[in-house]
A and B are shown apart, each in its own frame.
Chain A
């Protein structure tokens, strides 16, 4: 990600070299400028249509009474902040906010720690390390809906392989998806499993960018093992870490498929998050205004993290 950004800025900087003011040159210059603009047009169009329009539409929709009827009549009366008041004043709202926070923090911490450990592990060269590393990417390749269906079978209370294994080891079966106290933990575990490849890949490539000389020099000064990690690896990896964490937060906040596939927000709303509630309002209950209000709340939260991310990366570039 950061490399791509650097490449992009590099490309922008170079073509501004001045050209001579003769007639043909000027015409060529003009043609070049047009070409440049033409190259940007599709991207700009895509951004406006694919990002700008839905965001604006979502915003206006959240202030409207937008229901099934609207699709047929085109009538969506303005209702001010009623939709926001409705969704926030519900008993369920506090619970979904807490669940969203727990789910996000739990997933990120788990994914990051395990991803980091695996990245460090694979950074050392040993036979078959490439094959093994590729195997760890598998969760990334499996369609989410398939992944969640498989996990639903694994976590089934009566016949799930996990409980069968626990029972043969002499433990009591765990009500993974049927107890409101456990279900949130279960979906966090599954989401950690899904997020490991992303963390592993980015952190691993970050590790490879750290020059070996630093470690050699550090070793001469007696910095090995943990000391090498804290004094060499961690500071050099900071830029990648901040990218991984920020993107992780934004991705995790909006996770929907896993939760719908595993618990559908249940049991008794124990795994309901802002994202699942937004989906539920819009596409199950067809209260599009309320659904839009919830997803706007989610956008604002994501935006807060994005701003923090931009500030952090800008500071790093300045350094």
Chain B
């Protein structure tokens, strides 16, 4: 049942070929004109791109942007391929072993360092690209051992969405502290409607949603057994225990949470700006606030989301240079702004983000949250997945009453 891909050839062979290719190309002479199709031609005819934007409008928007960028850098065709999110890394591994990596690869930001560690990505510094002027989060997520491996045109994070109609009818204000969150949620729980919904599944998504309470309260991923983390676990537990959030949160993905919110079965939810297109389409009158703080003096810290464009080590130096140009083009100020307006993401260049905030004041809450958002891999790098597993296991142990918040993480670490 579990079949693994064979490693066909050693990566070293590819690298050796890569080193030889430019020599052959140089021998052919660069100015052979429009002889398309011949492998010796100096121009790059097409670039392949792999991402996980399978759904429209995202798929077509990105596709358009890619082909426009292709034209502007002198590449005739950009082949845009999308696979479902959970299968992206598997696909990349298959391609790596069969030496068919795309020329440009999109990666979810917490995966960049893990993939960079394998040696599959080219440092963007080699192509003269840097991340000056970017918010610290996206920069940290794409940097491995001092080198930059990806550029992220847009970022997102998670905040509290609230249904304005329901809250004003119940005379409840959007919460600013955990105490207010708990009381508001309780007040808003009537009949089949829960006050608050979040995602606490036993996967990376569940771990990501636990980070706002954990980080805001001063908890840290390098030591999960601190009282700060336990208090955050307690908050999740309290919300579920007193019925303000459904017990089903342990099975709800963020999409499920959004469905509950849209259906009016949740008055508030923890979710990201990528849900905005759906909320607007369903004519939900919603507002957003940053995740509340536990005690006064704390600042709300949310995890950084979003995807970066990277250049895999395909071996074809000329193509890799063009691929780097494509990555650069996807990250111009104009394209960052365009992407932000289309897709519910926030520009990662601080200057562009400010401009976006002025043009779309309703997104101000997100712009501020992204500016301080923390990268999941910022401190742990490629070790993040193991820690995420401990976080979501501990969280599930607490929510199902298998462990007290104080010892849940220790239990999860032992393989709970």
Q: Which residues of A contact B (CB under 8 A)?
A: 54, 57-58, 61, 66, 68-74, 76, 90-93, 152, 156-159, 175, 177-180, 254, 256, 263-270, 275, 278-279, 282-286, 288, 291-292, 295, 298
Q: Are B251 and A283 in contact (CB under 8 A)?
A: no
Q: Which of B4, B119, B250, B400 contacts A57 (CB 8 A)?
A: B4
CA distance A74 to B385 in the complex (A): 22
Residue B27 lies at the interface, judged by CB distance under 8 Å to chain A: no
CA distance A298 to B414 in the complex (A): 23
Chain B residues with CB below 8 A from A180, complex form = 400, 402
Q: Are A268 and B393 in contact (CB under 8 A)?
A: yes
Chain B residues with CB below 8 A from A267, complex form = 202, 250-251, 396, 399-400
Q: Are A256 and B1 in contact (CB under 8 A)?
A: yes
Q: Are A68 and B118 in contact (CB under 8 A)?
A: yes
Residue B3 lies at the interface, judged by CB distance under 8 Å to chain A: yes
Residue B76 lies at the interface, judged by CB distance under 8 Å to chain A: no
Q: Are B416 and A268 in contact (CB under 8 A)?
A: yes
Chain A residues with CB below 8 A from B389, complex form = 285
Q: Which of A68, A156, A179, A292 contacts B2 (CB 8 A)?
A: A292
Chain A residues with CB below 8 A from B246, complex form = 157-158
7 nearest A-B residue pairs (beta carbon): A90-B415, A266-B202, A74-B10, A268-B396, A91-B415, A72-B118, A295-B2
Q: Are A266 and B396 in contact (CB under 8 A)?
A: yes
Q: Which of the listed residues A69, A76, A179, A180 has the most CB atoms from chain B within 10 Å of its own CB?
A: A69
CA distance A288 to B2 in the complex (A): 10
Q: Are A270 and B7 in contact (CB under 8 A)?
A: no
Chain B residues with CB below 8 A from A298, complex form = 1
Chain A residues with CB below 8 A from B416, complex form = 91-92, 268-269
CA distance A241 to B402 in the complex (A): 40
Q: Are B248 and A156 in contact (CB under 8 A)?
A: yes
Q: How far is the CB of A129 from chain B (nearest CB, A)?
A: 37
CA distance A76 to B7 in the complex (A): 10
CA distance A70 to B397 in the complex (A): 33
Residue B367 lies at the interface, judged by CB distance under 8 Å to chain A: no
Q: How far is the CB of B68 from chain A (nearest CB, A)?
A: 32
Q: Are A72 and B120 in contact (CB under 8 A)?
A: yes
- Which chain B residues numbered 388 to 404 have a C-beta less than 8 Å away from chain A? 389, 393, 396-397, 399-400, 402
Chain B residues with CB below 8 A from A288, complex form = 4
Q: Are B397 and A279 in contact (CB under 8 A)?
A: no
Residue B6 lies at the interface, judged by CB distance under 8 Å to chain A: yes
Residue B203 lies at the interface, judged by CB distance under 8 Å to chain A: yes
From B90-98, B144-152, B155-163, B319-327, give the one contacting chain A: B90-98
Residue of B whose beta carbon sits closest to that of A279? B2
Residue B100 lies at the interface, judged by CB distance under 8 Å to chain A: no
Q: Are B385 and A179 in contact (CB under 8 A)?
A: no
CA distance A298 to B1 in the complex (A): 10
Write the B218-255 contact mask toward A (1 if CB under 8 angstroms, else 0).
00000000000000000000000000001110110000
Chain A residues with CB below 8 A from B400, complex form = 178-180, 267-268, 270
Chain B residues with CB below 8 A from A157, complex form = 246-248
Q: Which of B10, B89, B93, B251 contacts A266 (CB 8 A)?
A: B251
